[in-house]
């Protein structure tokens, strides 16, 4: 049986671990305008990134946006996941297909749809002008970025939660209701604790996706709204400072993994009590 794991393990090592190891090695080099980079073993790129107020603010913006989008996706996705998990027959397949369908559309296409909806001459502003309110700046705002990211990650949250809620027996809910618990109490004391693995897994997955969002912040946030993924891209492509870009990439990776693990542990301890 162990031999069956070897092909997948080799693929992971080849496609993920090796490039990440090479990227980490680049982050220890020194940038050179003529030679691209000079081989060295130094942490100056990490120190420069942490010491620069601009990149600290970019990281803070990324964290705020990712946290807000994750909370909204969890709040909006839980009811939909519950309905999907409890639905039976043909309608369950139809609703599952509707949930999965947005994943078949690229992020750029979805962002273009939001641009058509929120632009100065878009659908929303056209409707506001028609009722006499006037034009409102909706594009290139943090709200537009959060809304765009939520639509990207919401299917992942719904499907992850639904898979766990399906495993909760219906008679547990019925027993709680029969013993006098109201719907909200039943949800808080029964459904939420039992669905905690789905909440943790879905929130972790969505938070990671939000932290690494690229197309949506660029298209909906404009040049003034900066998140870490576009900042990493700028260092690699526009300034060709590969060592500094690699350091930014690893800072993003470490912060994302650290917060994801800390949040998961906190939730587990909270509901274990």
CATH number of 179's domain: 1.10.3720.10
Cα–Cα distance for residue pair 196/269, rounded to 1 Å: 11
Helix (H/G/I), strand (E/B), else coil: 86: helix
Q: How many CB atoms lie within 10 A of CB 8?
A: 9
Determine whether 142 is exposed, middle or buried from the number of CB atoms within 10 Å of its CB (0-12, 13-18, 19+): middle
pLDDT digits (tens, 9 = 90+) for 167-226: 888 888 888 888 878 888 888 888 888 898 899 999 999 999 999 999 999 999 988 899
- E strands in the chain: 30-32, 36-38
Domain assignment present for 167? yes
From 129, 123, 144, select the one nearest 68 (Cα to Cα): 144
Domain assignment present for 245? yes
From 96, 37, 24, 22, select the one nearest 251 (Cα to Cα): 24
Domain assignment present for 18? no
CA quadruple 162, 166, 168, 169: dihedral positive or negative? positive
Residues spanned by the domain of 220: 42-272
Which residues of the chain are under the pLDDT cut of 50? none
Domain assignment present for 17? no
Q: What is the pLDDT of residue 75?
A: 95
Q: What is the pLDDT of residue 272?
A: 64
Number of domains in the chain: 1
Q: What is the pLDDT of residue 271?
A: 64
Cα–Cα distance for residue pair 23/43, rounded to 1 Å: 14
Tokens representing residue 86 in the block: 């409890």
């Amino acid at each position: 049986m162990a031999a069956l794991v070897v092909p997948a393990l080799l693929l992971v090592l080849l496609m993920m671990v090796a490039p990440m190891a090479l990227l980490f090695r680049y982050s220890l080099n020194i940038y050179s305008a003529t030679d691209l980079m000079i081989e060295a073993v130094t942490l100056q790129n990490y120190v420069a990134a942490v010491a620069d107020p601009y990149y600290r603010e970019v990281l803070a913006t990324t964290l705020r946006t990712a946290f807000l989008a994750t909370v909204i996706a969890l709040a909006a996705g839980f009811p939909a996941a519950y309905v999907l998990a409890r639905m039976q027959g043909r309608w369950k397949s139809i609703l599952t297909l509707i949930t999965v369908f947005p994943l078949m559309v690229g992020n750029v296409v979805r962002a273009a749809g939001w641009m058509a909806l929120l632009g100065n001459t878009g659908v929303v502003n056209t409707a506001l002008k028609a009722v006499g309110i006037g034009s409102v700046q909706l594009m290139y705002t943090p709200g537009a970025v959060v809304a765009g990211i939520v639509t990207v990650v919401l299917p992942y949250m719904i499907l992850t939660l639904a898979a766990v809620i399906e495993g909760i027996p219906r008679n547990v809910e019925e027993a709680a209701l029969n013993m006098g618990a109201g719907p909200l109490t039943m949800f808080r004391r029964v459904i939420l604790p039992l669905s905690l693995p789905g909440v943790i897994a879905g929130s972790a997955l969505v938070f990671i996706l939000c932290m690494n969002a690229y197309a949506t912040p660029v298209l909906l946030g404009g040049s003034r709204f900066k998140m870490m993924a576009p900042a990493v891209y700028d260092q690699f492509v526009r300034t060709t400072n590969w060592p500094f870009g690699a350091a930014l990439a690893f800072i993003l990776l470490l912060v994302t993994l650290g917060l994801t693990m800390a949040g998961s542990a906190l939730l587990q301890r909270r509901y274990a009590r």
